[in-house]
Amino acid sequence: MKILPIILSLLTAQCIIGQEELIDAIETINNQKDVESGKVLCTEAYWTAEKDGGQRSFKQFAKMPAELELKLVDKNVKENRAVLTVDLIFNNEAVGKIYLYTIKNDDQWLLDGINESKHMIAYFMESKCSGHFDPTMIAANADLQQIGETMLTHITDTDALTTYMQEVFTEDSDFDSVVEQLTDTSYDKTVVTSAGYDEDFGKGYVFFTQYKEGQSYDSTITLYVSRTGMGTCKVYDYNFASPSANSFLR
């Protein structure tokens, strides 16, 4: 007897599906490699999210071994929100850990995000962000955009770029590797793709993209900043990737 049709029919019938049943359903869908069936386990916002949405997550699950087991090892529950800590078990050994960000909607526990980092948990539980939060969702910020644009006027001069960044960012900021990447003369063009800041988080980002003729992919850099009381910003993290919730919320 196939388990998946039974689970899906229960969901469709609006029966009460708890957290453990949700995990069982994810595991069963993975075993049967039925990506589209994951839609009924997700909030609409998560399933359709442009970046790291539910559909993409279930496609990633489909690439994992069918024998993979999901084991609930901890949970954090507050009203209609819960973060479930799940071990990934293969051949009776834990091979990884993920966090399922879930929301209770009409007695159904639905996935609102899956993440390998626990940095989002506190924000999610306080309803400050969704389970699939992406920094590019926050409001654009003209000041950070201008800082990024001014940085680009100095990328042909390492000393000038370093001096400018020392003026606008606090001395405990770490950006030496960023300077090295931005001043790499092998790139044909570098632009500020976006910049944003959120007062509730007290955090923002500046996102750069570098282009090189003949290169099949674009290089990216993201600075994560927080404002200080002195009117300057601190670079508290950076990565050579597009803006990520893990770095933004750490």
CATH 3.10.450.50 boundaries in the chain: 3-133, 142-248
Residue 229 has a pLDDT of: 73
Q: Mean pLDDT for the chain?
A: 89
Whether domain 3-133 has CATH 3.10.450.50: the reply is yes
Residue 9 has pLDDT above 50, yes or no: no
pLDDT in tens, 158-217: 999 999 999 999 999 989 999 999 999 999 999 999 999 999 899 999 999 999 998 888
Strands 69-78 and 93-105: unpaired
Cα gap 196→130, rounded to integer Å: 17
Residue 229 CB contacts under 8 Å (≥ 6 apart), including other chains: none
* Rama region for 237: left / alpha / beta (φ>0; ψ in -120 to 50; rest): beta
pLDDT in tens, 132-146: 999 999 999 999 999
What are the structure tokens assigned to 101, written together?
A: 């960000």
Cα gap 246→250, rounded to integer Å: 6
Cα gap 208→249, rounded to integer Å: 19
What percentage of the chain exceeds 90 in pLDDT? 68
Strand 219-227: give its sheet, edge to edge: 189-198, 203-211, 219-227, 233-239
> Contact, 141 vs 204, CB < 8 A?
yes
CA angle 135, 74, 24 (to 5 degrees): 90
Residue 81 has a pLDDT of: 96
- In words, the CATH class of domain 142-248 is alpha beta
Residue 216 has a pLDDT of: 81
Residue found under tokens 């300057």: 232
Of 181, 186, 153, 180, give the one whose Cα is nearest residue 168.
153
Collapsed DSSP state (helix, strand, coil) of residue 207: strand
Beta bridge partners of 162: none
Residue 17 has a pLDDT of: 60
Collapsed DSSP state (helix, strand, coil) of residue 41: helix
